[in-house]
Structure 1
Amino acid sequence: MDYDHLQISIYSDDASRKKRCSEKMEEMKNTQFSSTQDAASPLLHKELVGEKNVVIFELYDAVEKGDVDNFVDVLGKELAKRKVPLSDIFDQVTGAGDSLLHVAAYFGSEEIAELICCHFPELLIKRNVRGDTALHVAVSSKNLTTVKLILSQYAIEKSKHDCLKDKEITREKNKYENTPLHEAVYSGDVGVVKKILKADKDVVHCLNKSSRSPLFLSVMSPNVKILNLLLQIPFPADQPLPQCFGNSPLHAAILERNPGLIRKILGKREELIYLRDEEGGTPFHYAAYTGYVKGFRILLQNSSEKSNQSLLERNKKGNFPIHLACKRGHVEVVEEFLLHELPTNPYDLLNRKGQNILHIAAKNGKTKVVQHLLRNQKIDQRAINHRDNDGNTPLHLASINLFPRVLYFIAQDERINVNITNNDDLTARDIIDLEFDTQKTVRKFLANMVLVKARVPLKLNRMLHFQRQQSPKRNLHLKDPNTFLVAAALIVTVTFTAFLTVPGGVYSSDDPNPENRGMAVLAHKTLFWFFCIYNTISMLSSTAACALMLVAQTFDSELTHKATFFATACLFISFSFLPSVFLGAVTLVLVTNYSLKLVLVFITLVGTLFLTFCLYGFYLLTFHPIQGPVLWILIALLNYVNKPEDSSYQKAIKDKDKFV
């Protein structure tokens, strides 16, 4: 037998010992047992890892200690004891599915690993329950000499065994689809990384289950030397700039918000700025989407000509990087983009729907971006009134998605043309009018008031008018009438109790004056009269609200609508008188404690003013158009940032063909 390959020994130069151990292994392999004994063996081979017998403890212990002579002796004793073929013993695995070669790789027992590789090379590609080969285990354990040994033995044994011919040990993947190089990058061992790259440099571009390559992961490694090593590996000749997320360390550096690494990567591999992810996103798309303005600025400063080319590229959805910044509301990135000298006007950057950057910001409710764009000189009248493929201007899109603040700022711009209609012959106000047909909400009301203030006309298309006549209307209703009833009943209870325990108390039954017995002590005070009157009004109003809500839950929908409206008004009246009741009681009982009385009076007045504002707002929302400062205050307080879920206009567009 040729033992020349045994000269790869790592820790020992004792060739005779290696030869002796190898001869013993060969002798044990050739040991024959009777068929009866073989059939009765409890170690019969099974295909599934979970069904195999667990590796013998004595062998595991011998591998852990790393003494190859002791390992061979223990192996011989177990073979004689169990009387099974040697291959059956090496088929045994631990509870984690590790073979004896996995165990040797984990503990760094190089001589034992070398012996196993020579006599059972098929274990080189055997996997544990995680799908790891022995090379994965050696790499994760940072056992460099074991890694060298396994790679060398594989190169020797590959041509001799059919089971290895179609395999590349450096490309074998575990259940997470990590190659050994992935695990080496995770471990942060530069020496192990170098050894694997020497055996197979192109593995640097292999993707794991998360679509990450070792090159991508190297950005997140604590050892910068690994990144420097992997950046030196060129892309395959047939794939010079692969459009693959896992291959772009520049994307990873942007996600990590690491300006130093961004500069380092661009300094070594400037062409990486052209790499795209699986969605066609360039590094500019990543910086714009995440709002990483510093990284965006570094990319712009990299190279004017190359940056412009990458900056003005769409992703698979047809969006430029600036579109993503507007969509996410990253004002600083938008500002940086507009300050950059571009060969084209930002207004001309349209997505596949024909929408410019103001369209994107308006339909996503990004008020700060809208304000910034309206102030920018590069955004002219054409951009503000530009119609997309559906004929919608930014004002239309803000109406469709019901963003009152965005509508307010766009409608106040003197360059806006409020008469523009979309492909359905609708103005922005027509769209809000359609929305009112499903349900009247404060959000829709504010949006409509903004457009009324801006004098946006109504030009409702007859076909869509017919459609909205067919759509069912939803009457005013309370989401939880029981809560309303509880609130009203609580006020009734409190105000009724206030009469029984009036401020100042009552004369006792033992009072010398029979006429005073049981009467209020402070009944002669003028404030006591106000206390009683306001308390009575509050109690009767809340009682009426309770009665009306009972009616609303009992009779038909038309009566329910009216009863709910009047019950709400009664409850507001009750609320409005409660502060006066409290203030009167405080003044009566604290007439001598001026400091405390002053503080309580001040707090009560502030609360009353706030309640008055709420009541006034309710009145305006219900009975009267609102404009000016009041409208802006309400818009600012009710800052809607998310798109509504029930846009009737969108549904009307989809169903339009049914009525043609």
Structure 2
Amino acid sequence: MEELKNTQFSSAEDAASLLLHKELVWEKNIVNFELYDAVEKGDVVNFVDVLGKECAERKVPLSDIFDQVTWAGDSLLHVAADFGSEQIAELISCQFPELLTRRNVRGDTPLHVAVRSKNSTIVKLVLSQYAIEKSKHDGLKDKEITRETNEYGNTPLHEAVYSDHFGLVEEILHADEPVAHYLNKSRSSPLFLSVMSPDLKILNLLLQIPFPADQPLPQCFGNSPLHAALRERNPDLIREILGKREELIYLRDEEGGTPFHYAAYTGYVEGFRILLQNLSEKSNQSLLERNKKGSFPIHVACKRGHVEVVEEFLRHELPINPYVLLNQKGQNILHIAAKYGRTKVVQHLLRNQKIDQCAINHRDNDGNSPLHLASINLFPKVLYFIAQDKRINVNITNNHDLTARDIVQLEFKTQETVRKLLANSALIEAGVSLKLNSMLRLQRQQSPKRDLLLKDPNTFLVVATLILTLTFTAFFSVPGGLYSSDDPNSKKTGMAVLDHKPGFWIFSIYNTIAMFSSTAACILMLVAQTFDSELARKATLIATVCLYNSFSVLPTPIGGHALRSFIALLHYDNKPEDSSYQKVIKDNEKFV
């Protein structure tokens, strides 16, 4: 190896050949298959022979050979660590120590690969060799190989815990204990992950590692093995952790939640009970701490609807009444249960002996009682149970001077739903009053007024005049015509030919009504354009009725064409180029 390292190939031709090779493989030397095979077999003598042959054939220095990587970005040291070729790994790490921190495409160093392969010998070799070379090379002084992370944020210790290999965990901790509290991209530390390992020795080993001195215990986010044990619902593990490190009960997650918050959120009753038992001989400090949102564990349980957790909490002897525990909005546990519609929790709280009239009628920062919050969110069953309690003041008002029923009634202004109807019925049955009854009734009766003002009154007048003209003309051009002066019977001269037909008289009557109605419409529209807006509105309304009356009695086909003309003029008055408008006008011209 020393001879190969000292061999130089520096001719211009060889340099050009090497440059071309790098371009062909995307500026990366891809490891030769024969060399890869030699590493896999683990024969160090054969490996060195293949290296010499490769250098001679390609006429490149040995350092360029060790720049070769697989398509996954693995160096030769990665390959040796993966296949457990211990002698080759030792040879490479001694001759080319810079490969100890080389990464592949997944961000893994050779130590990550060795840990994942569960090869304790190579792990020890890499750690010891790195410790030796670190003092010799300035580029390694600022690095800790045990803290190098891959693309998932995992350190070699994370990988060791995932592998459930106690020996590897012990070896890495021996080299670097603080790495036990490093977080990966999932915000989990090796200590947290050790709870999921079937090997309990790994957890016990990591529990012995002290937390960083510069990081207060409650702020070691992602480190709590107690949270992990609660998630796994493993009571024996919870007792094991509390027995080894009882102070972990004060450890919080990123949301500021203690193990009590986590147990309340997941509804894990047995875990919550174990935590309570652990507090019985000490203090209730952790049980009475808020998270970042200002909620106590009992608030979280009420919000999630976990009745059994709420029952365990209320059964525990506390120095204060649980109903005086308020969140940042000034809401007690009954507020929370009512707000999120947790009917069973509400029933349990109302039956509890610790609740009193003050707690039931307590108002939050907005002045809302539990009854108000149930009304705002429309939970009929919750409203029913709270309103039926004799201790409640059903007519209590909030900061806006609204009762619970006022809130439900205001919701009716948007849309009536089954939930609103049921909620309103529950409040009516309980005798909740409406403070805004008269005002709400007035609001419901008043519909938005629409001024009956036409976009162009002249259009309306033209249509009315058209109908008047048509009906008036119909008196002189009656169906069947008139008897002329040449008729033998002089008494019939000027009389309608069809006057003896019933249909003729129906036509005449309807035509007369249409003519007088259209005449009235014309007069009213002239009035509407002359006087004030109120009189104009009334005149326009009556004129519209008259005009519609004209349409209804016009004899067909007069009525049909007139109606089509009217609709066209109303809808297309501002669009003379519209094809529909032009068609109606042409049809009307043909009719006239």
- Using the alignment, how far apart are the partners of 1:265 and 1:276 within structure 2? 15
- Using the alignment, how far apart are the partners of 2:252 and 2:126 within structure 1? 36
Cα-to-partner distance string for 1:375-399 (whole Å, 9 max, x where unaligned): 0011111111000000000000000
SS state of the match for residue 128, structure 2?
A: helix
Hey, what does 1:217 align to over in structure 2?
193
Change (3 A) 1:357 1:471: farther
Change (3 A) 1:470 1:398: farther
- Using the alignment, how far apart are the partners of 2:106 and 2:367 within structure 1? 56
Q: Is the 8 A contact 1:44 1:88 kept in 2?
A: no
Report the Cα offset of residue 244 of structure 1: 3.2
SS state of the match for residue 284, structure 2?
A: helix
Report the Cα offset of residue 240 of structure 1: 4.3
Q: What RMSD over aligned residues (CA atoms) do the two structures have, in Å?
A: 2.3
Hey, what does 1:580 align to over in structure 2?
none
Equivalent position amino acid for 1:72 in 2: V
Report the Cα offset of residue 35 of structure 1: 3.4
The match for 2:103 among 127, 134, 142 is 127
- Using the alignment, how far apart are the partners of 2:379 and 2:63 within structure 1? 73
Q: Is the 8 A contact 1:204 1:213 kept in 2?
A: yes
Hey, what does 1:260 align to over in structure 2?
236
Report the Cα offset of residue 372 of structure 1: 0.2
- Superposition TM-score, scaled by structure 2 size: 0.73
Report the Cα offset of residue 463 of structure 1: 10
- Superposition TM-score, scaled by structure 1 size: 0.66
Hey, what does 1:138 align to over in structure 2?
114
Hey, what does 1:291 align to over in structure 2?
267
SS state of the match for residue 308, structure 1?
A: coil
Hey, what does 1:272 align to over in structure 2?
248
Is 1:449–2:428 an aligned residue pair? Answer: no
Hey, what does 1:239 align to over in structure 2?
215
Q: What aligned pairs does 1:556-635 form with structure 2 within 5 A after superposition? A: none
Report the Cα offset of residue 204 of structure 1: 0.2
Hey, what does 1:360 align to over in structure 2?
336
SS state of the match for residue 355, structure 2?
A: coil
- Using the alignment, how far apart are the partners of 1:207 and 1:314 within structure 2? 24
Q: Is the 8 A contact 2:134 2:141 kept in 1?
A: yes
Hey, what does 1:53 align to over in structure 2?
29
SS state of the match for residue 133, structure 2?
A: helix
Hey, what does 1:202 align to over in structure 2?
178
Report the Cα offset of residue 303 of structure 1: 2.8
Equivalent position amino acid for 1:320 in 2: F
Report the Cα offset of residue 51 of structure 1: 4.3
Q: Is the 8 A contact 1:438 1:472 kept in 2?
A: no
Hey, what does 1:90 align to over in structure 2?
66
Report the Cα offset of residue 250 of structure 1: 0.2
Report the number of matched residues. 449
Q: Is the 8 A contact 2:305 2:342 kept in 1?
A: yes
Q: Is the 8 A contact 1:43 1:88 kept in 2?
A: no
Q: Is the 8 A contact 2:218 2:250 kept in 1?
A: no
The match for 2:94 among 97, 118, 121 is 118
SS state of the match for residue 287, structure 1?
A: helix
- Using the alignment, how far apart are the partners of 1:367 and 1:147 within structure 2? 58
Hey, what does 2:296 align to over in structure 1?
320
Change (3 A) 1:46 1:439: farther
Q: Is the 8 A contact 1:362 1:398 kept in 2?
A: yes
Change (3 A) 1:470 1:347: farther
SS state of the match for residue 211, structure 1?
A: coil
Q: Which runs of 5+ in 2 are unaligned?
A: 450-592
Q: What aligned pairs does 1:107-506 form with structure 2 within 5 A after superposition? A: 107-304=83-280, 306=282, 308-460=284-436
Change (3 A) 1:297 1:470: farther
Hey, what does 1:81 align to over in structure 2?
57
- Using the alignment, how far apart are the partners of 2:378 and 2:128 within structure 1? 67
SS state of the match for residue 395, structure 2?
A: coil
Change (3 A) 1:435 1:66: same
Q: Is the 8 A contact 2:360 2:392 kept in 1?
A: yes
SS state of the match for residue 260, structure 2?
A: helix
The match for 2:75 among 92, 96, 99 is 99
SS state of the match for residue 135, structure 2?
A: helix
Cα-to-partner distance string for 1:397-424 (whole Å, 9 max, x where unaligned): 0000000000010011000101110011
Report the Cα offset of residue 305 of structure 1: 5.5
- Using the alignment, how far apart are the partners of 1:429 and 1:38 within structure 2? 92
Report the Cα offset of residue 110 of structure 1: 1.2
Cα-to-partner distance string for 1:235-264 (whole Å, 9 max, x where unaligned): 122224151332100000001100010000
Q: Is the 8 A contact 1:289 1:324 kept in 2?
A: yes
Report the Cα offset of residue 40 of structure 1: 2.2
Q: Is the 8 A contact 1:276 1:283 kept in 2?
A: yes
